[in-house]
Structure 1
Amino acid sequence: MSSGEERTRMFSLRSVVTLILLIMLGASLLWASFNLNLPEPEEMREIILSYGWAGWLVFVGITAAIAITPIPITVPALVAGSLYGVIIGTLLSLSGVMIGSWLGYWLARLLGQRLTFQLLGRHSDIVQSYLSDAGFWAVFTVRVMPGLPYWPVNYGAGALGIGQYVFISATFLASVPGQISLVSLGAFAVNPSLFYGIILVVAWVAVLILTWISYRYWSPTKRDTGESEK
């Protein structure tokens, strides 16, 4: 066997081993994330506060970890508002959500469609229906769709090969109103000021408008019309 053939064989073997290790790592992370229990809001506050100035890093890490699981991201956003106020709280909560969404996206890219859709379970058909050959607007409207959690969209977008730029930009823009609405609710609960109240009302109005837009975009009549035009 020539040296070139030997190097090619070694490279192929290394690639296979690396792929197996990455798949095992991805599956382990998914299993761990799906079996972790979310701390109670007060317990989460204590954990974050116990780290002093570094508490914001802990908060972002917790939020990112939750964002790759079926656990709703509501509680961390409320905690962010109660601890950091609307502006800083939104920035931190949104950062954690985006990091977690990006990790979920790449975990699905790593694991592939078959394993990812097995993990999605009852959400797999919905995700495939909405995100197959999807562009920015489709991802955006799915993100604000009521009743569909974050995590199936993250995994579905990665498994179906949606472009990273489309996924990240649509996720960011669609997440901002929802995060502000939740964070402002947490801030208003501990400090019911006029400023927080105005932000709370405006944010929830924006969420309702986006929900209506999503409903109109994905209504059966709209989808049937769009499919017939293709």
Structure 2
Amino acid sequence: MGRWWRPALLGALVVVAAAVALTVGVPPVAEVRAAVTGAGWAGPVLYAALYAGLSLTPVPATVLSVGAGVLFGWAVGVPVVMAGAFTGATIGFLLARHLGRAALDGVGGERLARLDSLLRHHGLVAVLVVRTVPVLPFAVVNMACGLSGLRTRDYLVGTAVGMLPAVTAFVGVGAYGTDPGSLPFLLSAGGLALLLVGGAVIARRRRLT
């Protein structure tokens, strides 16, 4: 029982997060805009905190990124999203690492052990790829990395650097969406398309290998 109470707690937290996502979801933009406007200078801080909290649930983080662009514009929206996403990613990773990692030791056989060893020694590149190409759900990546043998330093650096291109593109789409013919919007949409195509190519190659 002593070995399993932590993963059981992690499982309960995942269930609660899923229930919150299903019952609450993403607040309407109008409501968030009113709250942010009423908060004054603290509005971006509150949005970053909201982002961090919702990123622990199955709520699509991309919706929150686009919303930040709509509410704050590109120059403010990017650091707001980066702060919220990085905080949520760190919390999700640490929860999985401290509550679930120990239960996986010796489980999964030789193949999983080799993968775990690979992530432990070359995890930075893996995190950079999975963060740069926004295909997998944000919360799932956080938990999976925490359960693996990935070094915390590699995870944090890879997350901070790797998610910047996608965050920049998503926030740009929201910030310039009212003028879809403008150069900033076209650059944001084009960059996002490149990232998605790159993700599709990587996924296809993995299925063929």
Length-normalised TM-score, structure 1: 0.69
Distance 1:51 1:30, change over 3 A: farther
Match of 1:200 in 2: 185
Aligned residues: 190
The question of 1:137 aligning with 2:122 is answered no
Indicate the residue corresponding to 1:174 in structure 2: 162
Structure-1 separation of matches of 2:68 and 2:175: 8
- The answer for unaligned runs of 5 or more in structure 1 is 1-15, 117-127, 225-230
**Larger C-alpha radius of gyration, 1 or 2?**
1
Deviation digits for residues 166-217 of structure 1 (CA, Å, limit 9, x no counterpart): 2122222221122122211221135x398xx323322333333334444444
The alpha-carbon deviation at position 64 of structure 1 amounts to 0.3
| Equivalent in 42, 47, 51 of residue 59 of structure 1 | 47
The residue type equivalent to 1:143 in the other structure is: R
CA distance in 2, matches of 1:221, 1:148: 14
- For residue 81 of structure 1, the aligned residue among 69, 73, 86 is 69
Question: C-alpha separation between the residues in 1 aligned to 2:132 and 2:90?
Answer: 17
Match of 2:17 in 1: 33
Aligned residue in 2 for 1:48: 36
Do the aligned residues in 2 keep the contact of 1:26 with 1:107 (CA within 8 Å)? yes
Matched, 1:210 2:198: no
Contact 1:217 1:223 in 2 (8 A): no
8 Å CA contact 1:45–1:79 kept in 2: the answer is no
Measure, in 2, the Cα distance between the counterparts of 1:193 and 1:217: 29
Cα 1:202–1:165 shift into 2, 3 Å? farther
| C-alpha RMSD of matched pairs (Å) | 3.2
CA displacement at 1:27 relative to structure 2 = 5.7
Q: Distance in 2 between matches of 1:59 and 1:142?
A: 24
User: Aligned residue for 1:5?
Assistant: none
In 2, are the aligned partners of 1:23 and 1:111 still within 8 Å (CA)? Answer: yes
- Aligned CA distance change for structure 1 residues 179 and 145 (closer, same or farther; 3 Å): closer
Give the drift of 1:29: 4.7
> CA, structure 1 residues 187+55, in 2 after alignment: closer, same or farther (shift >3 Å)?
same
Would the aligned equivalents of 2:133 and 2:196 in 1 still touch at CA under 8 Å? yes
8 Å CA contact 2:36–2:43 kept in 1: the answer is yes
CA contact (8 A) 2:172 2:185 kept: yes
TM-score, length basis structure 2: 0.75
> Gapped runs of 5+ residues in structure 2?
105-111
Report the residue type matching 2:32 in the other structure: M
The verdict on how the C-alpha distance between 1:79 and 1:207 changes in structure 2, with shifts beyond 3 A counting, is: closer
Q: Classify 1:178/1:145 alpha carbon distance in 2 versus 1 (closer, same or farther; 3 Å).
A: closer
1:26 touches 1:110 (CA, 8 Å); kept in 2?
A: no
Contact 1:33 1:65 in 2 (8 A): no
